[in-house]
Amino acid sequence: MTTLTVPSAPETRSARDAGAGDRSATRPGSKATRRGNAAAGIVAWVVALLFFFPVLWMVLTSLHSEPDAAGNPPKLFAPLTLDGYRTFFGSASGASPWPPLINSAEASVVSTLLVLCLAIPAAYALAVKPVRRWTDVMFFFLSTKMLPVVAGLLPLYIIAKQIGALDTMWYLIVLYTAMNLPIAVWMMRSFLAEVPPALFEAASLDGAGIVRTLRSVVVPIASPGIAATALICFIFSWNELLLANTLTSTVAQTAPVFLTSFVTSQGLFLAKVSAAATVISLPVLIAGFAAQDKLVQGLSLGAVK
C-alpha cells in the first residue's frame, strides 16, 4: 500500500506534462513549441523583472542624495553617494542600529526554533499517525489566523502592561511563536504526508521510539521542508512591525520599528529609508540564498501544491 505513494508523485507530474502537451496539440521539438517556449521564457523574465524592479529601485534610491531621491521625474543617473547608509549607521543622530538589529535576530531565531520544536511533533501527530478528527485539529490551527492581529492588539497590550512584559524580548518571542505556529504546522504536515509511511513502519519494526523516529527519520527526510518552514517563520518574524511597534520602546525595539524612525514630517527621508530597508532586508536575503537548494526542494515537495 505504501510503496505505491512513492512513484505516484512523478507519475502525476508526467501525466500533467503530457496533458499540457496534448492541449497545445504539437509534437515536441516542433516550431510552434519552440516559439511557445521562447514566449514563456520572455514572460517569465518580464514577471521576474517586474518583481525585482521595486527592490532594484530601493537599492538605487538608497545610493542617491536626498534631493535626487525625492526628484520628480526620477533622476536615474544622479551621482551615487553612501550618505543614506552613513545616516543609518548613526552619522546624524548617533543612534546605533545594532541593538534593534540584534533584537530582531534574537526574536526571529528563537521564535523560529520554538516553532519548529512544537510544529514537527504536532505535524507528526497529524500526518503520520493521525489523531482522531485530525482535520478538525488542522482547521482549529488555521482558525487562529482568521482573527486580524490588530483586533488582538489592545488585549495583548493590556496583558503586557499588567504582567510587566511591555518592551521585553520574551513577550515578542512568545507572540511570534504563536503567530507562526499554525502556518508551520500546516506546512510541516504536508511535508510529512509526503514521506512514505513504510519508512515509519520500518523504523518502528526496528524498535525506534517516537523521539528516535522524529530525530532519525523525520528530520533527515523532511529537512528541505523544515528549511522552507524555518525560513518562512524567520521572514515573518523578522519583518513583523505591528506588534513590535506597539509593544516595544527602548529596550526591545526591533529593526522594522527602527526603520520607521527615519520617516519624518519635516524634510526629506526617501534615501535614508531606502538605505535602512536595504540593510534590514539583507539578513533575509542571505538566509534565503543559504537555504536555496533545500528551499526549492522543500517548496516543490508539498506546501505549494
Q: Is 81 in the site for other proteins (CB under 8 A)?
A: no
Residue 281: closest CA among 119, 69, 56: 56
Among 95, 105, 137, 149, binds other proteins (CB under 8 A): 95
47-67 burial code (b ≥16 CB/10 A, e <16): eeeeeeeeeeebebbbbbbbe
**For other proteins, which is the closer residue by CB, 37 or 264?**
264
Among 209, 242, 285, 293, binds other proteins (CB under 8 A): 209
Among 40, 117, 198, 282, binds other proteins (CB under 8 A): 117
Judge whether 165 and 159 are in contact, CB under 8 Å: yes
Q: In 129-286, at which residue ranges do the beta strands (DSSP E only) sit?
A: none
Any idea what DSSP says for residue 158? H
Is the sign of the CA dihedral 101, 104, 110, 112 positive or negative? negative
Rounded Cα distance, 277 and 280, in Å: 5
CB of 1 to other proteins, least distance (A): 22
Footprint (CB under 8 A) of other proteins, residues 212-241: 214
Rounded Cα distance, 92 and 83, in Å: 10
CB of 135 to other proteins, least distance (A): 21
Residue 257: closest CA among 53, 97, 137: 97
- What does the chain come to in residues? 305
Among 20, 50, 73, 93, binds other proteins (CB under 8 A): 93
Among 60, 114, 187, 218, binds other proteins (CB under 8 A): 114
**For other proteins, which is the closer residue by CB, 91 or 144?**
91
Among 19, 54, 164, 207, binds other proteins (CB under 8 A): 164
Judge whether 272 and 86 are in contact, CB under 8 Å: no
Q: Is 262 in the site for other proteins (CB under 8 A)?
A: yes
Torsion (CA) 171, 175, 177, 180 in degrees, nearest 10: -160
**For other proteins, which is the closer residue by CB, 214 or 284?**
214
Question: Which of the ranges 12-20, 37-45, 132-140, 247-255 carries the binding residues for other proteins, by CB under 8 A?
Answer: 247-255
Question: Which of the ranges 48-56, 223-231, 258-266, 279-287 carries the binding residues for other proteins, by CB under 8 A?
Answer: 258-266
Q: Is 127 in the site for other proteins (CB under 8 A)?
A: no
- Which residues here bind other proteins, judged by CB under 8 A? 92-95, 106, 110, 113-114, 117-118, 121, 125, 157-158, 160-161, 164-170, 173-174, 177, 209-211, 214, 245-246, 249-253, 260-267
